[in-house]
Amino acid sequence: MKKILTILFSILFLATAAYAASCPALMKQYDEKVKSVKLDAAKAKQATDLRKQGEDLHKAGKHADSEKALKQALALIGVTVK
């Protein structure tokens, strides 16, 4: 029983760590792509706000919400993310 619980917790930890790692990658992708995109002021502000929101959510441990916000920010600057 102890062995099974250890395995389950290990899998959960690894899955969480892997999922959390996508947030910084999305932030980096946004930061690189936004430099070469021309947006109107309203879209630029909305994309910047979503990028900041994504970073804040990542720091708070809410990785699913962070990823959603970062993907929305990327979509606004014309980047399609799977």
| Tens-place pLDDT, residues 19-69 | 456 899 999 999 999 999 898 999 999 999 999 999 999 999 999 999 999
SS3 sequence of 4-43: HHHHHHHHHHHHHHHHHCHHHHHHHHHHHHHCCCCCCHHH
pLDDT given for residue 42 in this prediction: 93
pTM of structure: 0.73
The C-alpha atoms of residue 79 and residue 33 are separated, in whole angstroms, by: 8
SS3 assignment, position 62: coil
25: closest CA among 53, 66, 76, 75? 66
User: What domains sit in the chain, N to C, each tagged with a CATH number?
Assistant: 22-82 (1.20.1270)
Report the distance separating Cα 26 and Cα 28, nearest Å: 5
